[in-house]
Amino acid sequence: MRLFLLIFSLLATSVQAQAPGQDVEILARGKEAIYKAEFNVTGTSINGFLAVQHKRNDVLHVEFTSPMGNNLLEIEWKRGKWKKIYATKKLSGKLIFNMMTEDILLLFAHYQYDNGFEDFGDEWKWNKKTMLPSFDEGKLTSVKIIGRRHHPSKTVKYKRGEDCIDELSIDHQGFPFSIVLEPLKKK
Amino acid sequence: MRNAIPFFLLLVFPLFLSAQDWKSVAASDPMLTGLKSTLAGMSSIKGDIRQEKSFAFLTDKLVSTGVFLYQKESKLRWEFKEPIEYIILINENTMRLKEEGVEKKYKGMNQILRQVKEIILGCIDGSIMGNANYKTVFSTDGKSIRIQLQPKEKNLKEFIQQIDVEFMKQGSILKKVTLTDPSGDMTDIHFSNVQSNQKINAALFADF
């Protein structure tokens, strides 16, 4: 009986990690990329580059730098928590920082590796939010994130080219906050 | 173990030699007064820039290339053409930015931009050498003069840990600027085809 339960739980885990025929990988494990980035934070447009490394399934290292090269933000997602390594004043306020870090996990679909992520097929649950993914030819094209009031609170979109993602974006409904990323080197 | 010691020395010796290459120079050294007076005599400077940003956690570097134009006093056009078009235009007290054809408003980012302006202009015209906001160390390897600057004030330290500026001893030509972030990440700006006292169209500082 125990063996049967073990096999069943292993099968359930593998199904949850990735639904068959659906590609939700944005930056594969072990890969790194640099994106042209535009952060719109409450009316201020901050442009620069976002460097991202998907080190392990529980580790995502992110740095946002200005075109002149100076650091604006450096953060690391490790074992389910963000560690702030550096953040410029404009990005270090609690509300903005929490919103931005959650958006980065959403953009890179890194929530799928979090223990709290649940896959119910057409609907996902993560961090007390309901997520409605859309696919085109098995590839993730958008995710609507519905907050507690059951209204769409933000939308992640993936513009796909022939063999890569040309643009990733997240936009908040009813709040002036958005992030747009374009890869410099197509992966 | 006996075999390991010569191998260790072999590894360490080049580092030791490299560390010895730069010898410190007093602020009153004629080499530095000569550099300051040559830079003071330059009415304009222009050249190519290649900026390499290293990330401690990435194998790739972010490389940006472009040109810079400087006209005395305080007029600068700093233009990246790759990987994105990005222009900083400084005309005395005004500073404007354009990215990929669109002029940007940087409300809330003024402090960072003020620091960027002070550092870029200071490195090009050499005025950063006398900037009281930095602790300064001068050195030379015989061919180049290096100025290492560390900010004294807390708000500057939050922005930058160290600035290294290198000039060619011959001709006092700007060679390289290295900016070290508080996180330890480094940005190297290499200058090439640098020409001084050439006529530059004033319109290039007035508008994009």
pLDDT confidence of residue B135: 94
Q: For chain B, what are the domain ranges?
A: 23-44+52-62+111-206
Cα distances (Å, whole numbers) of residue B77 to B48, B50, B52, B112, B207? 12, 15, 19, 18, 10
Helical spans, DSSP H, in B89-175: 110-125, 154-157
Cβ contact A46–B109 (<8 Å)? yes
Question: Does B57 sit within 8 Å of A55, measured CB to CB?
Answer: yes
To the question of pTM greater than 0.95 for the whole model, the response is no
Cβ pair A155, A144 in contact under 8 A? yes
Burial (CB < 10 A; 0-12, 13-18, 19+), residue A94, is: exposed
Please enumerate in sequence order all residues whose Cβ is within 8 A of that of B200, keeping only pairs 6 or more positions apart, or say none. B44, B46, B69, B71
Decide if A5 touches B, using CB distance below 8 A: no
A78 contact B CB<8A:
no
CA B47 to chain centroid, in Å, comes to: 13
Residue B121's pLDDT band (cuts 50, 70, 90):
confident
> pLDDT 10s digit of each residue in chain A, 187 long?
555 544 444 444 444 444 545 778 899 999 999 999 999 888 788 889 999 999 988 899 999 998 888 888 999 999 889 999 988 877 888 988 999 999 999 999 999 998 889 999 899 999 888 999 999 988 999 999 997 766 668 999 999 988 789 999 999 988 889 999 999 964 4
- The structure tokens 């360490």 sit at B12
Residues A9-38: tens digit of each pLDDT: 444 444 444 454 577 889 999 999 999 999
How close B205 comes to chain A (CA, Å)? 19
B23-44+52-62+111-206: what fold? Nuclear Transport Factor 2; Chain: A, (3.10.450)
Q: Are A141 and A158 in contact (CB under 8 A)?
A: yes
> CA of A37: which chain B residue's CA is closest?
B84
Q: Is residue A18 part of a domain?
A: no
Residue A7 lies in a domain: no
Q: Residue B15: is its pLDDT beyond 50?
A: no
CATH number of the CATH domain containing A88: 2.50.20
Compute the radius of gyration of chain A from its Cα atoms.
Answer: 17
AA identity, residue B50? R
Q: Which of B111, B120, B181 to mutate to test the interface with A (most CBs of A within 10 A)?
A: B181
Cβ neighbours of A66 in B, within 8 Å: 112, 116
Query: Mean pLDDT, chain B, as a whole number?
Result: 86
Mutate to test the interface with A, among B107, B112, B154 (most CBs of A within 10 A): B112
Q: Which residue range is the domain that position A125 belongs to? A: 26-183
Which amino acid would we find at residue A50? L
Find, among B174, B138, B151, the residue nearest to A70 by Cα: B151
- The enclosing H or E element of A101 equals helix A94-107
Is the CB of B53 inside 8 Å of chain A's CB atoms?
A: yes
How many A/B residue pairs have CB atoms within 8 Å? 80
Contact yes or no for B80 and A67 at CB 8 A? yes
Interface test with B, best of A70, A72, A85, A92 (most B CBs within 10 A): A70
ipTM beyond cut 0.85: no
Whether residue B64 and residue A43 make contact (CB cut-off 8 A), yes or no, is no
3-state SS assignment for residue A11 = helix
Q: Evaluate whether residue A94 is within a structural domain.
A: yes
Assess A56–B contact: CB distance below 8 Å, yes or no: no
Q: In chain A, how many domains are there? A: 1
Above pLDDT 70, what percent of chain B?
87
Q: Smallest Cα–Cα separation from A153: which of A185, A130, A120?
A: A130
**Domain assignment of residue A103, yes or no:** yes
Answer whether residue A157 is part of any domain.
yes
